Structure formats: C-alpha cells, structure tokens
Structure 1
Amino acid sequence: MNSTVTFYVTRHGETLLNHLHKAQGWSDSPLTERGIQAATQLGLQLKNVQFSAAFSSDTSRALQTGKTILTAQGQNELQVITDKRLREWCLGRWEAENNNKFISSMMNELQIKNDFSELNSRLLEVHEIIYKSDTSGMVEPFQMIMDRLESFLKETGDNLIHLNNPNVLIVTHAFAIKTLMYLFSKEMLRKKPKIKNVDIISIKWDGKSFSILT
C-alpha cells in the first residue's frame, strides 16, 4: 500500500489587525484572545489526529496559532517549524488599509457588483491589481507565490511520505490558501469565497500529485 501525506492547512486565528478590520499581508500582529480561543478549539477538534510534523509561515500570528493548536491537541512537544514559503501575499500599498476599502477597491477595479465569490474566482486579476500598483517593490509575481507554496508542499511531502500515511499541520494565511485552491482545485474558489480565521482544508500528496479534500 502506497503512503499518502495529508496536509491540514489552516488560517491563523484572529489578530489585532483582523479585529480592527485592516488588510494584513506581510504586516504582522498578535492574536487576540478570541483568536487564541479559536485556535484552542481547533486543536481540540484535531485531538484524534497524530501529526508527524507542524509548520507555519514566519509571522508571529501563524506561529502562535500553530503552538496553540498543538497544545490543545495534546502534541505540544512537537515543534512548529517556520518557513517563509508559507507567507501571505505582500499587499503592497494596501498593507494595513481598511479591509472594506481594500475589497471595494478590488471590486470596483474589476467591475464586480456585490458578488464576493466572483472576486475570489478572479484571484489572478486581484493579484495583478496589487502587483501593478505596488510602490514598495516587495509584491511578488503570482507565479513566484505559486512556486514557493508548491515547492514547500512537495519538499515536505517527499520528506515524509516514507512514513505510514503521515499528517502534517500547516498554519498559513487567507490568500495563500486561496492560491493553493487555484493550484489544485479552482472550483473551490467559488464554493468557498471566504477563508475565515482557523478555517481548515485538507490536501493529499501521493508522491505524484495533490488533491484537495472537501
């Protein structure tokens, strides 16, 4: 029987900037009490899952979420390894902008009327607006974001696939998770227009290809 690696990919818990309705890409802020409680709850939900490894992006919010999940889940001895390939998109001039203003700007630019799921299904165009308007020089091309996320999953999957059907915890960010959907299951972008704090998806790697479990 061939082994498969299951990645449990979640978004971090609510942060201070989330609470203040600010867009948050490479800018970072700590978890709120509500964010800690939600991460704890997710850990309790995952208590029957035995993780072989745990990873987060190199932001404090993702690392804190990962540690909180594992503590509640009963595997607090497992180290959360940070990897910058799991970072969120850099949002350029929209970093820490009012979230409603950010979303309405994107919808206006793409001439979308009140349909958030359409905004999601046009992910590539959303990125293009952010990329073209960037004055910081820090916004990555979309291909670079896809490449770093996929290379992380492939490298990690290949390193662990010799184990007996290992499970891996990954804490990342909303646009990063949408990018994984774009890569492996585009139809999910319309089905799941919003990635909320501590939302979780499962991705399987069989050594050849990825599939997202719904």
Structure 2
Amino acid sequence: MRSLPTLWFLRHGQTEWNRDYRLQGQLDSPLTEQGIAEARRQALIMPKILAGKPAIFASPLGRARQTADIALAGADYTTDPRLMEIDAGRWQGRYRADIMAEHIEWQANGPTALDIYEAAEGGEGIVAFHDRICSFVKDLTGPTVIVAHGLLGQVLRAHVRGIELAQAGQLSNLQGIVYLLENGQETVLEVEE
C-alpha cells in the first residue's frame, strides 16, 4: 500500500436522529445544541491544523456541512459525494429499537452500527462503502482535513491503520474531537477541559 498523507478526520456533531437512535444513512437531520457545541470544540483544535493549508473535504450531507462551517471557522472546503454516509436503504429513518425487535438473533451478541447497516434492506453494503472510501483516499495528494460521518470514519480509519474491515465497527466513534491519522497511527486530539 502506498504511503498516505496525514489526515485529520472530524465526525459531525450529534444530530436529532443520533439522539433519537434513528438510522440516518444518506438522509439528514440537523445538529442538536449538543452537536453545535461539539463542532465548536473541534473549532478550538483546528486553527494550527488549518494554518498548514491542508486540502479540506466534507460530505455534501447537511449535518457534515453544518459541522464544517462551525469547526473550520469559515474556511473553504470542497464537498465530495464519496464522503456521504453509508446508504441504509429502506432502513433509513427507522428507529434502531424497531430494527432490533425484528432481529432477535442480534439481541444476544449486540451488533455494531456497521453490522446493522450491512444488513439493511436495499442498502449499499460494507464492501461497496469501503470501495467508495478507498476511491476517495486514492485521490489524495497531500495533508487533508475530512469532515464526514461516524461509520465512514470507522471504515476510513480502519483502512488507513491497516485494520481488517470486519473490525472497523469496534473502533471508537467520537464527536467533538479530531482524529489525526499519520504513518498508520491514530491520535485523538481533544480540547483540554
């Protein structure tokens, strides 16, 4: 695998559907007050990073753009559809509890969010999702800031770190922080409380 540039990954702040445990996928809901506060915490981390003039990309979905507008303090960014969250097909907008109730086989072993999205009726599937993310990464030519989504972040970070795709759902999925990916290693950057 070729050497990858330094990446900074920001997951969007909490949305109304995150709070309500609804699957968003490629549908959208706005940031909550907590989500706005999380984006503001990211904004405190970003000035030194942005001073280095990295490329900046964001998902075109509203929650990622809303986060980028706050966290990047008005810096210009390019949207790329390859950074959209995984498509959950007919399960988009559904409550996680309702899906779990229909799949009692999951209740014993507690699936990850990626497991649920992989099983989504009419959804994109993890392999296609991974391929889309790899296509984006392959096109990067230098240090890059990415503002996108939780499951996309897990798959992206697993890819960059050389972790098996099947283990991506076990990675943390934090909001209000910045993941630094450099030389195959991950560091969590956060505001000192």
Q: Pick from 76, 84, 89: which aligns with 1:87?
A: 84
The answer for the alignment partner of 2:174 in structure 1 is: 196
Q: How does 1:8-157 map to 2 (within 5 A)?
A: 8-50=8-50, 51-71=53-73, 76=74, 78-102=75-99, 108-110=104-106, 112-113=108-109, 116=110, 119-120=111-112, 123=114, 126-130=116-120, 133-134=121-122, 139-156=123-140
Matched with 2:186 is: 213
CA-to-aligned-CA distance 1:154-174 (integer Å, 9 cap, x gap): 202x2x3xxxxx3x2211111
CA distance in 1, matches of 2:169, 2:126: 16
Check 1:150–1:103 CA distance in 2 against 1; reply closer, same or farther (3 A cut): farther
The amino acid across from 1:30 in the alignment is P
Give, in whole Å, the separation in 1 of the partners of 2:168 and 2:20. Answer: 28
The separation in 1 between residues aligned to 2:118 and 2:168, in whole angstroms, is 20
| Structure 1 unmatched ranges of 5 or more | 161-165, 206-210
Q: Which residue is equivalent to 2:7?
A: 7
Q: 1:10 to 1:100 in 2, by over 3 A?
A: farther
TM-score normalized by structure 2?
Answer: 0.78
Which structure has the greater CA radius of gyration?
1
The equivalent residue for 1:163 is: none
Inter-partner Cα distance in structure 1 for 2:156 and 2:102: 24
**Preserved CA contact (<8 Å) 2:100 2:107:** no
Once residues 103 and 87 of structure 1 are traced to their aligned partners in structure 2, the CA distance between those partners, rounded to angstroms, is 24
Q: 1:51-89: per-residue Cα shift (whole Å, max 9, x none)?
A: 422111110110110111111xxxx3x312111100111
**Matched residues in 1 for 2:58 and 2:67: separation?**
9
Change (3 A) 1:109 1:212: farther
Aligned position for 2:190: none
Aligned residues: 179
Q: For the residues of structure 1 that align with 2:180 and 2:97, how far apart are their CA atoms?
A: 29
| Structure 2: segments with no counterpart, 5+ residues | 188-193
Q: Tell me if structure 2 keeps the 8 A contact 1:54–1:66.
A: no
Deviations 1:77-129 (A, max 9, x none): x31211110011111222111133345656x344633xx5xx33x94x54442
% identical equivalent positions? 28
**Residue identity in the other structure for 2:87:** C
TM-score scaled to structure 1, two decimals? Answer: 0.71
